[in-house]
Amino acid sequence: MTSPTHSEGAPRARGRDAWLQDTWAKSLKKSPERQARFTTPSGIELAPCYGDAADGGMPGEYPYTRGVRPTMYRAQFWTMRQYAGFGSARDTNVRFKMLLASGQTGLSTAFDLPTQIGHDSDSGLGKSEVGRVGVPINSVEDMERLLADLPLDEVSTSMTINATATILLANYCAVAKRRGVPLSKLRGTVQNDILKEYAARGNYRFPAGPSMRLTTDLMAWCAQEVPQWNTISISGYHIREAGSSAAQELAFTLGHGRAYARAAIEAGLAVDEFAPRLSFFFNAHNHLFEEVAKFRAARRMWARIMREEFGARDDKSWMLRFHTQTAGSMLTSQQPDANVVRVTVQALAAILGGTQSLHTNSMDEALSLPTERSARLALRTQQVLAYESGVTDVVDPLGGAPLVEALTDELESRAQALMAEVDRRGGPVAAIEQGWTQREIHRSAMEWTRGVEDASRVVVGVNKFQVEEGRPEIFRPSDESRAQVLKDLAELRRTRDAAAVESALRVVEETARGRTNLMPAILAAVEARATTGELCAKLERVFGRYRPPEVL
């Protein structure tokens, strides 16, 4: 267990003057070349930080209301991680390379629906959806194509995958092993958050108990084998996309984080062994100040949960690190050019709120998958904010503002009340099984919809300022890509060692019936070239399939 950074594990807040003299002076040595940049165009020198947070903390200090690093973007920008996946692994690899060449600093992978719920592309349920809203990964061969020519020991990769997270990460590791890249050098994140699938998104396969086992097996295995990997990205994004409020997004997301922490401890992990690799994934909506306050409240709440409730002593365990995506649900198919403005406001909220990683949606995503041009424009939005706007020159620039501090406190209070109600109902899993969480989200979504319908909530181009306009360019994956995916899968089945595959799958099924960590058996199976669908079919024989409650 790591020793506490602060004396006796009790962090002490410092005033701004002490913070400037100590922490900032040390951290500036890491990036002296940027020191001259911190002036306005008029030549006014900017201090690293202004104002005091209501809780007295400074950036990089518990409870991290003002940011997890003392320097934040003065020393290093957030990771610009644009989400991509469509057609085939080959198509997506081309898009990855375009984004990297355009200045993206991390990969983010969208998987198609069959892959997300564990069906192969040639299955009855999979064929019609191959590559439509993500990349199909049937086997290690597809993962090899997806990552072709990409340096796995240098690039950080995020994978938005949940029910089949163990299988997709095993494929990623199998490719690294083929190339001779040590697993200890791999960096990235696998979402691996099944609770929000039950609550809001619906891309599940197995019941909650076995799914939590898969989640904690992956966490435990990575702690030993892939130590730089973020083993779970606890997602409020999809909860918000389903219609929740900002307070609900906070409450349900952090509540799920607590549930995963308890499950990991029950599986035998020490809190400071896994907590530093936990990460979060939040939505950024249009109300600039509420969103900034939400991110600040999330950091403060998580720090207190981990230190006071779980007894974590490593300060890295207290730090809530998060990726942000701008709100797809706020994009409109009417006048899609206006979405560029919406995305800019949302991205600004994420940056002012202290995100570690950011995806900006493309303006055409209410209509189709993004074109190459719109995807590049979305990335350029981040780059203009980073290099031209000045928002990166001061840490937590809205901290101390009465409105932002009041909203931070109020969102925390409302989220805590919701978390207490979830606890009263038996915890997140029980609240989901009762349908309570889903009903709360649906209620909030209906309130928003009624406001748009009666025009009490203005949505530009939808219920006000409407115009007639021509349909913009629409991007669709090609039928040739789908045909190639099916051809590749047929070739895999024809050329692999069928006996070796079946033997490896039997080991997976036997392991699932016991309590041994499943990751080694799954990794061995994907290395034998077993498919995603075959692995899920074996697991389903043991675990069963999840049937959602009827939500009224």
106 within 8 A of 158, measured Cβ to Cβ: yes
d(CA 206, CA 546): 5
The CATH number that domain 72-453 falls under is 3.20.20.240
The neighbour count for residue 306, using CB atoms within 10 Å, is 28
Over residues 251-290, the pLDDT tens digits come to: 999 999 999 999 999 999 999 999 999 999 999 999 999 9
Segment among 29-38, 119-128, 466-475 with least mean pLDDT: 29-38
pTM: 0.92
CA dihedral over 178, 140, 192, 88, signed as positive or negative: positive
What is residue 7's predicted lDDT score, i.e. its pLDDT?
32
What is residue 74's predicted lDDT score, i.e. its pLDDT?
87
393 within 8 A of 74, measured Cβ to Cβ: yes
Would you place residue 54 in the very low, low, confident or very high pLDDT band (cuts 50, 70, 90)? low
Q: Which residues contact 466 (CB under 8 A, 6 or more apart)?
A: 334
286 within 8 A of 327, measured Cβ to Cβ: yes
528 within 8 A of 506, measured Cβ to Cβ: no
520 within 8 A of 151, measured Cβ to Cβ: no
Over residues 221-234, the pLDDT tens digits come to: 999 999 999 999 99
CA dihedral 404, 64, 392, 26 (to 10 degrees): 140
Q: Is the pLDDT of residue 16 over 70?
A: no
Q: Is the pLDDT of residue 35 over 90?
A: no
Over residues 160-180, the pLDDT tens digits come to: 999 999 999 999 999 999 999
Backbone phi and psi for residue 102, each to the nearest 5 degrees, phi listed first: -85, 0
What percentage of the chain has pLDDT greater than the value 70? 92
Would you place residue 25 in the very low, low, confident or very high pLDDT band (cuts 50, 70, 90)? low
Backbone phi and psi for residue 49, each to the nearest 5 degrees, phi listed first: -155, 145
Q: Which residues of 201-222 are buried (b: 16+ CB within 10 A; e: fewer)?
A: bebbbbbbebbbbbbbbbbbbb
Over residues 65-103, the pLDDT tens digits come to: 999 998 899 888 999 999 999 999 999 999 999 999 999
What is residue 20's predicted lDDT score, i.e. its pLDDT?
65
d(CA 228, CA 150): 18
Would you place residue 29 in the very low, low, confident or very high pLDDT band (cuts 50, 70, 90)? low
Six-digit token string for 180: 């001779």
Who wins on pLDDT, 287 or 55? 287
List the beta strands (DSSP E) in 243-389: 278-284, 322-326, 357-359
